[in-house]
Chains A and B, each alone.
Chain A
Amino acid sequence: MNKNLILYTGILIFGLAAPFIFPAFKVQLSILCVLIVLATTWNIQGGEMGYNTFGNILFYGLGMYLCASVQVGMFFPLAEWTESGGEKTFVHTPAQFFQGMAAGLVVAAVIPTIVAGLIGYAILGLRGHYFAICTLGLGVAAGEISGGIEIIGAGQGFTTPPFPNVGGLEARGEFFYFLSFGALVLTFLAVRAIYSTRFKLILNAIRDNEDKAEAMGIETMKYKIIGWMVSAFFCGLAGGIMGGLVGYIDSTDVAFDGREMGVFMVLMAILGGKGTLWGPVIGATVFHVFKEGFWTFFLGWQYVALGVLIVVIVIYFPEGIMGWLREKYPERFGEVVDEADRKAQVELK
């Protein structure tokens, strides 16, 4: 336990100091935090519960639009803000900006949670591939629908309020970094707490054999919905932060970006090792570092390089980095290994 405490304190100190150690990388670090949140919450479904969802991008995009809408709508008429031909210029005062952001983030987290409950009630009865395909449709549909709603900018996109003129040039970067780092810490602690309860065992039971779990008297539907609502809460929060960070929301390319973010969150969780607490964190970090590296050093070939990375992951680390480590050093994961037994197993293979 003591060692764990050292580890967590170390990471916390590193996280708090990071924007000052690498001042030029604040944006990348903020995005990393958001990616970790997304991978960690995807892991609740994809890893622990065995439900491969592509629908979490729905909550992320919803959070993004909601946060920006609230932040604008609290002080100015939203329709005039988004209407492209509007000749008026609205400027948030610092107080308005931060109050709006705070209220926006609350809404961005709560509404997607409710939506997840409703949609979950309708579709969590589907299993396996059927569930995956259904959720894939959710993100695509949301992108198309939001691209037609005039009040949030439709195809024009939505420019989020510019950061007010306080605290110098670095203030914006630092604000969004600490906001996303805060969201990351909150998510991690919440998920860690959840994983230490019976709830995780129930999710695992659903993954391993849902019918048996039901036969044991577990109301699987209820737990599946709650699990998804937890994911939606943090996805919405991450989306709200990301909207402010990017500064411009486009329906399919930024908000309901299933093709990139939606796939990346799955990849990151699998790369790190799904069904583990640390897997998504490590996966997201490795993925982000590699991705930024490819984008810098292999310009024009970045997607080829990323594709090769994915192939390598699937072939050599099918269980993810954590899974691979676990197999190599089981004793470090607190597993007692009988040497003779292990040898016998290796020979069998």
Chain B
Amino acid sequence: MKLSKLFLSFISAIAILFSTSVVSFAKVVGDKIVLGAAISLTGKYSSNGVHTQNGYNLAVERINDMGGVKVGGKTYKFDIIYYDDESNPKRAAQLAERLISQDGVEFMLGPYSSGLTKAIAPVTEKYGVPMVEANGASRSLFTKGYKYLFAVLAPANLYLDVAIETAVELNGGKGVRIAQAFEQDAFSQDVRLGILDAAKRTGSEIIIDDKLPKELNDMAATLVKVKQMKPDVLVVSGHTKGALTAIRQIAEMKVDVPMLAMTHCDAAKLSKQHGKNSQYALCASQWHKSLTYKDKFFGTGMKYAKDFEKKFKYDPPYQSAESSAALLVFKDAFERANSFDKKKVRDALAATNMQTFYGNIKFAPGGQNVDKPMVLFQVMCDGSGKCENKVVAPLKWASAKLIHPIPKWSER
């Protein structure tokens, strides 16, 4: 008798706990369309996770205020169930499973980062749950043949492609010497592949090719090499922490390099956090508020930025803008499908062809958005030390001229 009683009571306790926590939400409750999302609220991606969540929330509020979604002659409102994935792929996959099989969610929004999207995609695919994601740019997401995955953003290998091409152009068409350092994660490694392609295409040479750890807070070793070898371009990518670390240490060590190309400058609020030290940094961006796209919900990018700032008290990084766009895509697809059937919604998503404040959206068979180029902006400061991000490439949207080469620290 010694243990069996104990064990029985134990098992019944678990059973009770399990059965009470089964709260079954249907995909559509009353006049609500329930979407599910696992977001990094804690862990290494937490700041970008919050940008993503803010973007989703702003769009949900706006769409609901402006009449909601009309399906079958009835209007519905959006609602989102959030879970915290702790920036951990294992957790994210588990939460996707939970959203679908326990909470009954039939439509998903993406998490933040390529790695987490990679972990969730097999689950949504298995259940045939359409997922519109706004923050997973890794190219390998779009080559696995996923049918229910749609990304409103351009793939990661295109992020800094333009920077290399610009550098080569400024070098009179001759190849340049590139130094690069990338975080060991799915997104940054894909940006790296893009640079390798661009280098091959332009006849450029990669002289430093470093890896940065995931818990990124020091890249002095790379910078020492950069000081010694004097490359023409320094490329750094490692989400928000990568951008912050690079600028901090480049300023501390007074590293002179003619061109500094990065990702995630706006998410890291570089121009605010580091002011003049971040000047001249060249950043890849999916979106910038000065672009001239339009839609009827948010108006222009400028108007979106103003509304966002009013609600969340900071300038929207592109991570928020693309997340808001994901909701616009869902609304459009629901209305065109005129149904809540997962298969029909998926087909409607696949046929998406629309313009939003964030850019044109049209999906390739692999699920990536093929109708929206990347932009490059440069951090520019005026005499009083106020810094701003200005689009410098492609020329169609440029609002300022690229400053190249970057002046030496001794001359600043």
B7 x A253 contact (CB < 8 A): no
A175 to B108, CA, bound (A): 25
Tell me if B405 counts as interface (CB < 8 A to partner A): no
Q: Name which residue of chain A comes closest to B13, CB basis.
A: A289
Tell me if B17 counts as interface (CB < 8 A to partner A): yes
Q: Name which residue of chain B comes closest to A91, CB basis.
A: B145
A25 x B102 contact (CB < 8 A): yes
B42 x A303 contact (CB < 8 A): yes
Among A21, A172, A250, A332, max chain B CB count under 10 A is at: A250
Least CB distance from B57 to A in Å reads 15
Known: A22-B18, A84-B193, A87-B143. A325 touches B6 (CB 8 A): yes
Among A150-158, A216-224, A229-237, the stretch in contact with B? A150-158
A50 to B10, CA, bound (A): 28
Residues of chain B in range 22-77 having any CB-CB distance to chain A below 8 Å:
22, 41-42
Tell me if A299 counts as interface (CB < 8 A to partner B): yes
A28 to B90, CA, bound (A): 12
A334 x B193 contact (CB < 8 A): no
Tell me if A260 counts as interface (CB < 8 A to partner B): yes
Q: Name which residue of chain B comes closest to A288, CB basis.
A: B14
Among A14, A155, A157, max chain B CB count under 10 A is at: A155
Tell me if B369 counts as interface (CB < 8 A to partner A): no
Residues of chain B in range 180-216 having any CB-CB distance to chain A below 8 Å:
182-186, 188-190, 193, 211, 213-214
B3 x A155 contact (CB < 8 A): no
Chain B residues near A195 (CB, 8 Å)?
none
B125 x A162 contact (CB < 8 A): yes
Tell me if A3 counts as interface (CB < 8 A to partner B): yes
Chain A residues near B21 (CB, 8 Å)?
292-293, 296
A91 to B146, CA, bound (A): 12
B7 x A260 contact (CB < 8 A): no
Q: Name which residue of chain B comes closest to A25, CB basis.
A: B18
Least CB distance from A271 to B in Å reads 13
A157 x B89 contact (CB < 8 A): yes
Among A10, A22, A24, max chain B CB count under 10 A is at: A24
Among A22, A26, A246, max chain B CB count under 10 A is at: A246
A302 to B144, CA, bound (A): 34
A296 to B21, CA, bound (A): 9
A84 x B190 contact (CB < 8 A): yes
Least CB distance from B47 to A in Å reads 15
Chain A interface helix/strand/loop/mixed = helix
Tell me if B83 counts as interface (CB < 8 A to partner A): yes
A84 to B213, CA, bound (A): 19
Tell me if B93 counts as interface (CB < 8 A to partner A): yes
Known: A24-B101, A85-B193. A157 touches B115 (CB 8 A): yes
B127 x A169 contact (CB < 8 A): yes
Chain A residues near B126 (CB, 8 Å)?
162-163, 169, 172
Mark B93-128 against chain A: 1 for CB-CB distance below 8 A, else 0.
110011001100000000000010011001101110
A155 x B211 contact (CB < 8 A): yes
Least CB distance from A278 to B in Å reads 7
Tell me if B157 counts as interface (CB < 8 A to partner A): yes
A68 to B331, CA, bound (A): 38
A155 x B183 contact (CB < 8 A): yes
B102 x A253 contact (CB < 8 A): no
B119 x A248 contact (CB < 8 A): yes
Tell me if B286 counts as interface (CB < 8 A to partner A): no
Least CB distance from B344 to A in Å reads 18
Q: Name which residue of chain A comes closest to B118, CB basis.
A: A248
Chain A residues near B140 (CB, 8 Å)?
84-86, 156, 159
Chain B residues near A86 (CB, 8 Å)?
140, 143
B143 x A85 contact (CB < 8 A): yes
Chain B residues near A14 (CB, 8 Å)?
11
A87 to B142, CA, bound (A): 9
Q: Name which residue of chain B comes closest to A334, CB basis.
A: B2
Mark B75-92 against chain A: 1 for CB-CB distance below 8 A, else 0.
000000011100111100
Q: Interface of B with A (CB < 8 Å)?
A: 1-4, 6-8, 10-11, 14-15, 17-19, 21-22, 41-42, 82-84, 87-90, 93-94, 97-98, 101-102, 115, 118-119, 122-123, 125-127, 138-140, 143-145, 157, 182-186, 188-190, 193, 211, 213-214
Between-chain CB contacts (< 8 Å), 16 pairs: A3-B1, A11-B7, A84-B140, A86-B143, A144-B213, A148-B184, A155-B183, A155-B189, A156-B138, A156-B140, A156-B189, A157-B89, A242-B90, A248-B115, A248-B118, A285-B10
Closest 8 CB pairs of A and B: A155-B184, A84-B140, A248-B119, A332-B2, A89-B145, A7-B4, A247-B122, A155-B189
